[in-house]
Amino acid sequence: MKFGLEDKTAIVAAASHGIGKACAMRLAKEGANVVVCARGQEALVKTTDEISAVTGRQVEWVQTDLSKPEEIDILIDATTVAFGDIDILVTNCGGPKRGEFMTMEDADWKKAYEMVFMSAVRLIRAAIPHMRTRKMGRIVNITSIAVKQPIDRLILSNSFRAGVVGVAKTLARELAPFGITVNNVAPGYTLTNRIYDLAMEEAKERGISHEDVMAEYHRHIPLERMGRPEEIADLVAFLASEHAGYITGTTIPVDGGYHLGLL
């Protein structure tokens, strides 16, 4: 199936590793011009070189700390300088600190708010003018299955990702007259550095092995395995494609059946 993404321009946030990187690779494979960002230059260079080598597409990187508003502005400006316009925005971010409610101080809440919630708000706000004038655009937010079923000891993620869904659902209506769709993808347990680190922290806390924690995660997933970042990217690419023009305001899990709710 052709996705109609040839020569479209996509920004993928937090994309030097993991889910973001897989999304950037997938969009480039579909022929899009891709701009990736993250904080570390070395990983960005490695990732862009890899994506260019695999896809033959021009891939640009912008060193960006997503919790800093001025760096988001630079990312957007650099994209328009490199490619002229923005057709697709994939918001994504580093995962917030793990822990239960009573372990979090104001500083933790503020940091997670800037990283998870405000980075999505600022990226979307800066991208909209470039989409609205052309009466087309695709915004896809990487959230978490936590927006449908809170995950224990991830109070910050559970709280602020729900806020992103609130923004997206509202924006889907505001932006529909401009041909811009807004959707959320909700990954379940996905094999990346993030899940490795979370399992490592939990293993230390409980005095059990990393393998035991990972095995416990698996037991809660009907498909009995974790997702691959590429499986999240497949849905992101579809939502960014011309085939998804009538889908907006949705939150779609990619979780191996983990979420237990009916809707």
Residues that bind ligand NAD (CB under 6 A): 14-20, 38-40, 64-67, 92-95, 115, 142, 144, 157, 187, 189-190, 192-195
- Could you tell me which residues come within 8 angstroms of residue 49 by beta carbon, excluding any fewer than 6 positions away? none
Please, which residue, 95 or 137, has the CB nearer to ligand NAD? 95
Shortest CB 130 distance to ligand NAD, Å = 20
Please, which residue, 238 or 258, has the CB nearer to ligand NAD? 258
Distances (CA, A) of 158 to 34, 92, 131: 29, 15, 30
Please, which residue, 15 or 240, has the CB nearer to ligand NAD? 15
247 token code pair: 């889908």
Query: DSSP labels for 143-179?
Result: --GGGTSPPTTBHHHHHHHHHHHHHHHHHHHHHGGGT
Three-state SS at 56: coil
Shortest CB 133 distance to ligand NAD, Å = 27
Task: Give the whole-angstrom CA distance, residue 119 versus residue 213.
Answer: 31
Please, which residue, 175 or 258, has the CB nearer to ligand NAD? 258
Task: Give the whole-angstrom CA distance, residue 61 versus residue 59.
Answer: 7
Please, which residue, 39 or 132, has the CB nearer to ligand NAD? 39
Please, which residue, 74 or 136, has the CB nearer to ligand NAD? 74
Shortest CB 64 distance to ligand NAD, Å = 6
193 token code pair: 């550095």
Shortest CB 132 distance to ligand NAD, Å = 25
Shortest CB 150 distance to ligand NAD, Å = 12
Please, which residue, 43 or 82, has the CB nearer to ligand NAD? 43
Shortest CB 245 distance to ligand NAD, Å = 26
Name beta bridge partners: 39.
none
80 token code pair: 């328009």
Please, which residue, 39 or 169, has the CB nearer to ligand NAD? 39
Shortest CB 40 distance to ligand NAD, Å = 6
Alpha helices in 34-118 (DSSP H): 41-55, 69-83, 106-112
Shortest CB 241 distance to ligand NAD, Å = 21
Q: Which runs of E-coded beta strand occur in the chain?
A: 9-12, 33-38, 59-63, 88-91, 137-142, 180-187, 251-254
- Could you tell me which residues come within 8 angstroms of residue 36 by beta carbon, excluding any fewer than 6 positions away? 11, 12, 15, 16, 20, 21, 24, 44, 47, 48, 51, 59, 60, 61, 62
Question: What is the Cβ-side half-sphere exposure of residue 190, based on CA atoms within 13 angstroms?
Answer: 26
